Amino acid sequence: MARIMKKCRLCRRERTKLFLKGERCFSPKCPLERRGAVPPGVHGIRSGVRLSTYGRQLREKQKAKRLYGVSERQLKNYFQKAIKEKGATGELLLRALERRLDNVVYRLGLAPSRATARQLIVHGHVLVNNQKLTIPSYQVRLKDQVSLSEKALKMDKIQAWLAKKDWPVPSWLERQGQIGRVVAWPERKEMPQEIDEHLIVEFYSR
């Protein structure tokens, strides 16, 4: 319960749902639903103070880190790679985060959250092109096939989740049964709209 509440505090701190608890985030009991976008702490209700430019940049960077479950070093490395490529740096940064294997497993609806997806990968329950892969940060490629191991498919939690039929799979991915494929690269409109990537670029460009 303490871990769940901690995740709720992170969502409240960023004033948006980060979907860190999987399907629990859709419950009307979600603190963000009951209390609104009020940061945690005794001074949360008084937090209407306008943030500085740096403050807004920092919050956006923290939001992206927490949404995708990456470390500061990982996010900065993605940024460093993005600035070396042709195209909009912010969009390339988000695309690299979207291409992470743990995110793809989540986006395909094979796991209820990115955290669960990471756990499945680390424990060897995720296959890429029918080969076990235990690196959550693996960058999927076009035409990669992603699936779960037979052992994972027998887990009660996974079976219950896969029984849900209304999971929206983005158009850059396709799923048939329990097998997913990467068919294109994600467009900006298919990436999290609650993240302003320009502020993250500004933060790291200081």
Do 90 and 110 belong to one domain?
Answer: no
106 and 137 part of one domain? yes
pLDDT at residue 13 in the model: 55
Phi and psi angles of residue 182, each rounded to the nearest 5 degrees, phi first: -95, 115
Tally the domains of the chain.
2
Same-domain pairing of 71 and 44: yes
* Same-domain status, 116 and 41: no
Q: pLDDT value at position 27?
A: 56
Do residues 114 and 150 touch, judged by C-beta distance below 8 A?
Answer: no
Domain shared by 46 and 114, yes or no:
no
CATH at residue 19: 1.10.1050.10
**What does the pLDDT read at residue 51?**
85
- The full DSSP string for 137-195 is T-B--TT-EEEE-HHHHT-HHHHHHHT-------TTEEEETTEEEE-SPPPGGGS-TT-
Q: What is the CATH number of the domain that holds 148?
A: 3.10.290.10
Are both 69 and 108 inside the same structural domain?
A: no
Domain shared by 173 and 200, yes or no: no
Tell me what pLDDT residue 166 has.
Answer: 82
Is there a single domain that holds both residue 57 and residue 69?
A: yes
Same domain, 105 and 163: yes
- CA of residue 123 relative to chain centroid, distance: 19
pLDDT of residue 29: 58
Q: Are residues 108 and 50 in the same domain?
A: no
Q: Examine the domain organization and report whether 126 and 153 are in the same domain.
A: yes
- In this prediction, residue 171 carries a pLDDT of 96
Position 119, amino acid: Q
For residues 198 and 127, membership in a common domain is answered with no
* Residues spanned by the domain of 153: 100-184
**pLDDT by 10s per residue, the chain, length 206:** 455 555 556 655 555 666 665 655 555 655 655 665 566 655 555 555 688 999 999 999 999 999 999 999 999 999 999 999 999 999 999 999 999 999 999 999 999 999 999 999 999 999 999 999 999 999 999 999 999 999 999 999 999 999 887 899 999 999 999 999 999 999 999 999 999 999 999 999 98
Whole-model pTM over 0.75: yes
Model pLDDT, residue 15: 59
